[in-house]
Amino acid sequence: MIQSDLDLFGPQPQRLASHTVLLPGFALAQVERLLDALRPVLRAAPFRHMRTPGGLHMAVALTNCGSLGWVSDAKGYRYSPTDPVSGEPWPALPEALLDLAGRAAAAAGFDAFIPDACLVNHYLPGTRLSLHQDRDEADFGQPIVSVSLGLPAVFLLGGFQRSDKTRRIALSHGDVLVWGGEDRLRFHGVLPIKPGVHPRMGERRINLTLRKAG
């Protein structure tokens, strides 16, 4: 029997809102390339729990690569060209990430996306990310490309007020979420990661968000 053509192309993009597109499995073929690129980044700029302006520590551990990195401390949230732990510039944005981000953005309808910052978030089972907006970037006209690796997550996609109701979006290893345009300032978060062991990534979830911050 001849296989249906549709099956040959894998899962299709899903439009979740007017300018929010989930690309299931888009990064799967690149996972080893991404992990190879991340290894030296994590050596130079290890994951750390940053302090919030309120004085607590974030549950998510994070680091950055690119000419700008997102930081949080007693003074607030902002982008910085240097890693506050080492005092050195953040590691460069690897070509593998630039390339994936550009292709994912294009697949979601955003042309010529050239990120200058990649925030790398590390979740253990039980770690959550509370509802927030991404509003520290200079130009909200630029999209964000988000790559999920490891344990699955339930992403909460909200509205424009913190109190708006949220939709639950399942994010799996290799999925890429792209959003921008009028969805750029939606509130969003991640429910506590369920215990588990991912066959490639172990007991963790890593999320890469690529942005044009400057």
Task: Pick the closer one to ligand MD6 by CB: 51 or 136.
Answer: 136
Taking the C-alpha atoms of residue 47 and residue 119, their distance in angstroms, rounded to an integer, is 11
Q: Which of residues 134-173 bind Fe ion (CB under 5 A)?
A: 134
Question: Minimum distance between the CB of residue 32 and Fe ion, rounded to whole angstroms?
Answer: 26
State the CB neighbour count (10 A cutoff) for residue 98: 19
207 touching ligand MD6, by CB under 6 A: yes
Q: Considering CB distances under 5 to 8 angstroms, the limit depending on partner class, which of Fe ion, ligand MD6, none binds residue 178?
A: none
Q: Which of residues 96-135 bind ligand MD6 (CB under 6 A)?
A: 121, 129, 134
Classify residue 22 by burial, with Cβ atoms within 10 Å: 0-12, 13-18, 19+.
Answer: buried
Taking the C-alpha atoms of residue 6 and residue 114, their distance in angstroms, rounded to an integer, is 31
Q: Considering CB distances under 5 to 8 angstroms, the limit depending on partner class, which of Fe ion, ligand MD6, none binds residue 142?
A: none
Stretch that binds Fe ion, among 5-13, 99-107, 133-141, 154-162 (CB under 5 A): 133-141
193 touching ligand MD6, by CB under 6 A: no
20 touching ligand MD6, by CB under 6 A: no
183 touching Fe ion, by CB under 5 A: no
27 touching ligand MD6, by CB under 6 A: no
Taking the C-alpha atoms of residue 209 and residue 143, their distance in angstroms, rounded to an integer, is 10
Residue 131 is given by DSSP the state E
Contact by Cβ (8 Å): 189, 164? no
22 touching ligand MD6, by CB under 6 A: no
The CA-based diameter of the chain, rounded to the nearest angstrom, is 65
User: Parallel, antiparallel, or unpaired: how do β-strands 76-80 and 188-190 relate?
Assistant: unpaired
Task: Report the interface residues with ligand MD6, using CB under 6 A.
Answer: 121, 129, 134, 144, 146, 155, 177, 179, 188, 190, 207, 209
